[in-house]
Structure 1
């Protein structure tokens, strides 16, 4: 468990804004064991369950490799995880600048 970084907070805040959500962002996070791709959980005790996607999309890391992401909510509609998948499974080099993010339209059907 650690404090959320400024770049993580900036990214999560931006994604929530783009999704039209006004949700509390916890100050503490738990890094996920993802091989260094940068995923974090707001479920510090590991007792909550993923319920739905808030928003998803992609960006390119500084090495040009595509990174897909998904911000999810738990069963209480609280922020649950920010999952990042670098398509070549390498270590994330940096979080994106906000203008580099491409949001994927969410299909509810």
Structure 2
């Protein structure tokens, strides 16, 4: 079950910012100040639905714009992908830990 929408944590915001920088998509400087996120039911791997403020919850998946792969602190591979909707707004941060265990920590990319 998804949790109520909330502001992204500092760690979540940083991974989203870093994935945006790696992408070919441009967002306004204050774009991330306008988003809300909601944790997804993924076994605590860290996936988020992303809701641009004021946007209805019925928007449609578009495409992947960026991804990274890293090893979590327990040496398990993790793939994180950032998706946009068909209008070009952020849609989802997908986190897949290859053994389906909970994510321990996002990598320090900065």
State TM-score, norm by structure 2: 0.82
4+ long deviations beyond 6 Å: none
Partner of 1:53: 64
Q: Root-mean-square deviation (CA), in Å?
A: 1.6
Say whether residues 1:7 and 2:15 are aligned partners. Answer: no
Cα distance change on mapping 1:51 and 1:27 into 2, 3 Å:
closer
Gaps of 5+ in 1: 100-109
d(CA) in 2 for partners of 1:66, 1:95: 12
- Is contact 2:24–2:65 with CA below 8 Å preserved after alignment? no
> Alignment partner of 2:70: what SS?
strand
Gaps of 5+ in 2: none
Partner of 2:42: 34
Question: Size of the alignment, in residue pairs?
Answer: 99
State TM-score, norm by structure 1: 0.82
Task: Using the TM superposition, name which of 64-73 and 43-52 deviates more.
Answer: 43-52
